Chain A
Amino acid sequence: MKHSGYFNQFGGAFIPEILVPTFDQLEAAYLEAKADPAFWAEYKQLMSTYSCRATPITYAENLTHHFGGAQIYIKREDLNHTGAHKANNVMGQGLLTRRMGKKRVIAETGAGQHGVATATMAAKFGFDCTIYMGAVDVERQRPNVFWMEQMGAEVVAVEDGSRTLKDAINEAFRDWVTNMDDTHYALGTACGPYPFPEMVSWFQSIIGTEARQQMLERVGKLPDRVYACVGGGSNAMGLFSGFLDDPEVELVGVEAGGRGSGIGEHAARLAYDDASVGVAQGYKTYFLQNRDGQMQDTHSVSAGLDYVGVSPILADMHETGRARFEAATDAEVVEAMKLTVQKEGLIPALESSHAFVQAFKDAADMHSDQVILINQSGRADKDIFTVADAIDDPKWKQFIIAKADEYKKANPELAIAGGV
């Protein structure tokens, strides 16, 4: 490889030997595409005709008045096709896959957003598609599994380890070490071995580039602070990318605080003190691990943030102080989401709602001439089962019980089989 892929001490490419030529090929394709203005033009054209780019920024007037501090603006990544910023990365990697002449894509998914986005891309580009998803996530995200399968993807439930996102990533790598010749692994976040953290951030930088220009046009100045939730870190990297050369803009990443600090209770690698530097899944960063280096269980109300590692680029921004990292607890997240739904009619995903929590905390203490921008990375209406559980809505439960009775009556053979 030509490039080390390090961001100070973080990053690198800790890959099995069998994948070395595959990564060489990927790096070459990525660097060529990056140097080719026609590639980015094609990407932008695709995103403006297939997804909803440029996504708007929305002035949250009611929330602004509610907190009585900074003016709150929201970048609407939820308006992308498939309902999240994941589409940006996936369509970019789709173009790259075609450029490399590969015919099959594989991906990991946690909540299912990246899986749905990848299945969508595969359908559009005519690729075969296999999605690896932790068995726990398959159980709690049936609607996303349904759409992936409708789009022709094979969804493999991963039964190993903690049966969540990190195990799905391991399994995708196991597929890739066998099928690298015709298969591209469309990793869903700004993690993993080089060039993934940099490449995924590049595709997602479309968020920040648009947002910076939109703020200048609409508000006449840059935001004082920008907020994004951080799982692997791709939507945060996307937003932050637009403001890296603006030191006056504070970058705030918000991790999953779950039930609070203490290993196993959350997925906050940077905001809490429970993580340490390690090497797993092909890269060096902060991991929630024990002193032996074994990865530990994580918890979050949002499956999309429920991950042991974090983008090496964000780990570096944490060390250098370029970005500030906070954590939002499950309870705070549900409240922030409900408030946003009620005040603005916007439906931020539970993941995105983490960013809203910290933005709301800060906004109240800021002046009315100050401006903040929150990345609404995804929408929650497609996660209605999870959200209804988080809100604990009795009418929803009644509906599901009635629906289940109806299915049972019509399909007695399915009622006995049960399972997924």
Chain B
Amino acid sequence: MNKLEQYIRQQREQKELLLMTHIVLGYPSYDDSMRVVESMVEAGVDLMELQIPFSEPMADGPVILHANSEAIRAGATVDGCLEMAEKITAQFDIPFVFMTYYNILFSQGVMPFVENMQRIGIQGAIIPDLPPEEGRDYIAAMRTHGLSPIHIFTPNSSPQRMQTLAENSDGFVYTVARKGVTGKETQFSAELDGYLADCRAATDLPLALGFGVKTRADFDFIRGKADMAVIGSETIKVMEQGGVAAVKPFIAGILRE
């Protein structure tokens, strides 16, 4: 069991459902990203995804897509994001994983990129356009460095496919609640139960459930069904509408006892 999985299991002993949140590094600026991370950690999130912006974020919906292109327009670079991630991991005591697209790793070289991740204290990565068949070098490099390659289960994944994905994952598995891109509406209904049972049957790794989680009610619905809920686009919307100051009360509202 690697470090990230161990952390998730320890947290789960105290909480029934963990919360992972997401930001796009450099959106709207590096300083604002830093303040959002601070707000989220103070509000009690257990884990965070730091997205390195890419010009062609094929799997992302309009909100995160816009954040990606605005971050790049505002001057965010891969080196700048790595520097910032290093500051974040030094300052905050929860695990952080990267989310980005394969070309970002490919341009730097997969091995140097993974070495950098280890050096700056990032614990895993989600690369939505890198299926395990194309990512053998990446998966091997991550494992050699004790980092978690995290893959995605979808409602279209067959039991065999889930098995393949789980075998190539460490830390946790990211299960998406529905088809489509990030940030669209999801009906959190009993239909999810069957799918999550299939996910559970395919792996012993912790399960994170994301895509369309927006409210306290969604969070409560997921309780007992997965180990971790993921809120992505919604916090970006909250920040866009209410500024950085709105983020902490939003997260606190989701997590209140």
Residues of A within 8 A of B (CB): 1, 4, 12-18, 20-22, 160-161, 166, 170, 173-174, 177-180, 278-282, 289, 291-295
Contact = CB atoms under 8 A, between A and B. Distances in A.
B154 interface: yes
A21 B72 CA distance: 33
A17 B55 contact: no
26 contacts: A12-B134, A13-B133, A15-B129, A16-B58, A16-B129, A17-B128, A17-B131, A17-B151, A17-B152, A17-B153, A17-B157, A18-B152, A18-B156, A18-B179, A21-B161, A160-B65, A166-B56, A170-B58, A278-B106, A279-B103, A280-B103, A289-B103, A293-B103, A294-B55, A295-B55, A295-B56
A249 B69 CA distance: 44
Nearest to B127: A14
Contacts, number: 105
B161 A16 contact: no
Interface residues of B, number: 42
Contacts of B7: none
Contacts of B179: 18, 177-180
A174 B154 CA distance: 15
B221 interface: no
B236 interface: no
Contacts of B59: 16, 177
Interface string B31-63: 000000000000000000000001111110110
A166 B58 CA distance: 11
A9 to B, nearest CB: 11
Interface of B: 54-59, 61-62, 65-66, 69, 72, 77-78, 101-104, 106-108, 128-131, 133-134, 151-158, 161, 165, 176, 179-181, 184
A292 B62 contact: no
Contacts of A177: 59, 179-181
Contact of A21 (B55, B58, B65, B156): B156
A101 to B, nearest CB: 17
Contact of B54 (A12, A160, A291, A294): A294
Given A174-B181, A291-B107, A292-B107, A160 B69 contact: yes
A172 B11 CA distance: 40
B181 A282 contact: no
Nearest to B179: A178
A389 B179 CA distance: 44
B129 A14 contact: yes
B55 A161 contact: yes
Nearest to A17: B152
Contacts of A166: 56
B158 A21 contact: yes
B131 A20 contact: yes
A13 B134 contact: yes
Contacts of A20: 131, 156-157, 161
Nearest to B178: A178
Contacts of B108: 293
Contacts of A4: 133
A357 to B, nearest CB: 30
> Which secondary structure dominates where chain B touches chain A?
loop
Nearest to B66: A160
Contacts of A280: 55-56, 101, 103
Contact of A293 (B54, B58, B155): B54
Contact of A292 (B66, B104, B176): B104
Enumerate the 9 nearest inter-chain pairs by beta-carbon distance, A residue then B residue, closest first: A293-B107, A178-B180, A293-B103, A18-B154, A294-B55, A295-B55, A17-B152, A16-B59, A292-B78
- Kindly name the residue among B59, B128, B184 whose own CB sees the greatest number of chain A CB atoms within 10 A: B59
Given A160-B65, A292-B107, 12 more contacts: A12-B134, A14-B134, A17-B128, A20-B161, A160-B69, A170-B58, A178-B184, A179-B179, A279-B129, A280-B55, A280-B56, A293-B108
Contacts of B134: 12-14
B222 to A, nearest CB: 20
B106 A281 contact: no
Contacts of B181: 174, 177-178
B128 A16 contact: yes
Given A21-B156, A161-B69, A166-B56, A14 B131 contact: yes
Given A14-B102, A14-B134, A20-B157, A170 B56 contact: yes
A157 to B, nearest CB: 14
A23 B48 CA distance: 31
B72 A294 contact: yes
Contacts of B130: 14
A294 B77 CA distance: 9
Nearest to B184: A178
Contacts of B180: 18, 174, 177-178
Contacts of A293: 54, 78, 103-104, 106-108
Contacts of A170: 56-58, 65
Contacts of B128: 16-17
A22 B153 CA distance: 15
Nearest to B106: A279
A18 B61 CA distance: 14
- Kindly name the residue among B55, B154, B156, B157 whose own CB sees the greatest number of chain A CB atoms within 10 A: B55
A160 B57 CA distance: 11
A174 B179 CA distance: 10
Contacts of B57: 170
A174 B56 contact: no
A278 B107 contact: yes
Contact of B154 (A17, A282, A292): A17
- Kindly name the residue among B61, B133, B155 whose own CB sees the greatest number of chain A CB atoms within 10 A: B133
Contacts of A289: 55, 103, 107
- Kindly name the residue among A20, A174, A178, A292 whose own CB sees the greatest number of chain B CB atoms within 10 A: A292
A289 B104 CA distance: 11
Contact of B58 (A179, A278, A281, A294): A281
A18 to B, nearest CB: 4
B138 to A, nearest CB: 12
Contacts of B156: 18, 20-22, 180
